[in-house]
Amino acid sequence: MKFCPNCGNKNKESAKFCTNCGYNLKKRDNAADSLHSTNSEKRTIRRIAKEQNKSHKSTWVIATIVLLCVIAGGYYFLNIGSKSASSSNTATTQSANTSVSTGTTNDSIATQNSGSNDTDIKLSSDIGPKETAAAIAYYADKSGLDGWENYLKANNGITIILDSDDIAMVSEKGQGMIYGVLNEQQGSNSLPKNVYTLDEDNTVNIYHLSNEDDSDNPATPIKSISKDEIIQYINNHGYASDVKKLGSKVTLDQEAN
């Protein structure tokens, strides 16, 4: 059924004109179609607008996500790079410190080994006459006995004058022999000032003679000490190596003329 928009009369569906007022029902149909078409177009436009709006929202969401990923990635790589550089610098510093520490330790060990080579050398109690003379002279020099201090100087050798004729000049005559000690800078045809005698029990009597000493006024020892005590002193102070070197440069002269 069709209703006339002009008078409201009911008409057949196939009617072109209203049977009551003669209104052209075809205009109604066209208007309805036009209205339907317009409504359809409006719905289509709204749908497209919604889709575009959704698309824009999706684009913004995606763009925001990408931007956040870029920022996070940049921060991550910067942080990792900084830590890597810091670790590298720390490793380099530690390596340098280790190298320095190792070099210092090696130098210290080398120094200790160098020093221990001398301290490992010891004099024995049965040393020969040249090393005995060197040990007595070295002891008198290093212990600072009057007239003996710095007597050996460059340690370039000594000459031992064996003199029995002047034994009366000393109070402790030992076994009847005076051992005069000449350093490397002296050349003398008379008895040296620095002398010693050696008792049978290996007690060493050390003298520094003066011009007043003679047979009527014999000199007294400035030090009487056992040979073993002298050797112990030499060993304890690390002088054994130097004494051995000096002993190899000792010359024994039977008597001064």
What's at 157, amino acid-wise? Answer: G
| pLDDT averaged per 10 residues in sequence order, the chain, 257 residues | 80 82 74 61 76 73 87 80 64 57 52 51 92 94 91 80 91 94 69 92 95 92 96 94 91 67
The reported pLDDT for the residue numbered 130 is 92
Query: Phi and psi of 149, rounded to 5°?
Result: -60, 130
Q: Which helix (H) or strand (E) holds 158?
A: strand 158-163
The reported pLDDT for the residue numbered 15 is 82
The reported pLDDT for the residue numbered 256 is 46
| Helix ranges, the chain (H) | 25-120, 129-142, 227-236, 240-247
Backbone φ/ψ region at 68: left (φ over 0), alpha (ψ -120 to 50), beta: alpha
Residue 171: closest CA among 222, 129, 227, 228: 222
Q: Which helix (H) or strand (E) holds 11?
A: strand 10-11
The reported pLDDT for the residue numbered 177 is 94
Q: Are 165 and 178 in contact (CB under 8 A)?
A: no
Is residue 238 exposed (0-12), middle (13-18) or buried (19+ Cβ within 10 Å)?
middle
For residue 146, what are the contacts with CB-CB under 8 A and spacing of at least 6?
208, 222
